[in-house]
Amino acid sequence: MIEYIIGFLIAIIIGAIAAVAGLGGGFLFVPTLILLFGVDPKTAIGTSLSIIVFSTLSSSVAYSRQKRIFYRSAACLAIPGIIFSLLGSLATAYISSTTLTFIFCGVLFIVALKMIYPGLPFIAPMKFGPSHNEVCTDCYSNVIEHRLYFIHVIFWGSLAGLMSGLTGIGGGVINVPALTMGGMPVHFAVATSTFVILCTALAGTTIHSRLGHVSLPYMVSYSLGAIIGAQIGVRLAPRIKAERLKTGVAIVLFITVCIVLAENLFLITV
């Protein structure tokens, strides 16, 4: 019982961080489930996605009230993201847990570098082909115009969905940098990404639950904490400067990679 209480408290913190950064939270849900509670990596991935459904639903409702979601961009990310999330989730039945862990760490490392050094060509803007102007007026009377390039968001949405299904990260670690590289202000990218993650995580959870990769007790304890944390994070997000937000997320990602790799190298050597 004590482990579920601890999981609940941890999830409040993770939920707040995830909501502030526009991430699903899987980059911290997965490692804490594995490292602190000894959950099998495949079950940790499926459980993480199920938690993300509840946390991002909570965040998305709040961000919708703030009117900061670019819904057309969200749809262009979510539709291919859902398809590839399903494919990625199915693939976990045929890929070893160790391989999944290293894929997870590789994705986080690349995205963290990109957020600190935007000039690196890992997530490059694809500003060509069909496009559309979007205008969003939020509850603070900020009027933001964004040029949506369909090829850009469809490509990165597909990759985010695939990584979501494979690793349980939710996809926000790709969505947020992709949207900001496409010219969307980071606070709006965070809100839009959160809504997209809700869609892709729901698709991935469906497959993982059928594969038996979801731990119901941890899903419940983490989800309750994540919902509370998400509401805290949404209220904090508008008060944080964009550059500090990007740097903070990147640091958290680097720390997560180091912890997970250290644990896996230890398990391999023993």
Give the pLDDT of residue 270. 43
Query: Coil, strand, or helix at residue 160?
Result: helix
**CA gap 161, 183 in Å, rounded:** 21
**pTM metric for this prediction:** 0.76
Question: Looking at the 3D structure of the chain, how many domains does it have?
Answer: 1
Strand segments (E) across 10-151? 131-137, 143-149
Alpha-carbon Rg for the chain, nearest whole angstrom, is 17
Give the pLDDT of residue 265. 63
Query: With contact defined as beta carbons under 8 Å apart, do 134 and 70 qualify?
Result: yes
What are the percentages of helix, strand and coil residues in the chain, rounded to 5? 75, 5, 20
Query: With contact defined as beta carbons under 8 Å apart, do 123 and 177 qualify?
Result: yes
Per-residue pLDDT of the chain (270 residues; tens, 9 = 90+): 888 999 999 999 988 887 777 677 777 888 889 888 888 888 888 898 899 888 888 888 888 888 889 999 999 999 998 898 888 888 877 887 678 777 777 877 876 776 677 666 665 677 888 888 888 888 878 888 888 888 988 998 898 888 878 777 767 778 887 888 888 888 888 889 889 988 888 888 888 888 888 999 999 999 999 989 988 888 887 777 767 776 777 787 787 777 667 766 654 444
Domain span holding position 186: 2-269
User: If you search the block for the tokens 């993480």, which residue do you land on?
Assistant: 48
Both tokens of 22, joined, read 């526009």
Give the pLDDT of residue 91. 84
Backbone angles phi, psi at 94, to 5 degrees: -115, 0
| Residue from 62, 53, 29, 161 nearest 107 by CA | 161
Query: With contact defined as beta carbons under 8 Å apart, do 91 and 159 qualify?
Result: no
* Amino acid at position 67, single letter: K
Cα torsion 241, 244, 250, 256 to 10°: value is -100
From the number of C-beta atoms within 10 Å of its C-beta (0-12, 13-18, 19+), residue 232 rates as middle
Give the pLDDT of residue 239. 77
**CA gap 17, 205 in Å, rounded:** 22
**CA-based end-to-end distance of the chain:** 29
Q: Cα–Cα distances in Å, from 222 out to 15, 63, 175, 178, 225?
A: 9, 21, 23, 28, 5
| Residue from 163, 137, 12 nearest 69 by CA | 137
Query: Coil, strand, or helix at residue 146?
Result: strand
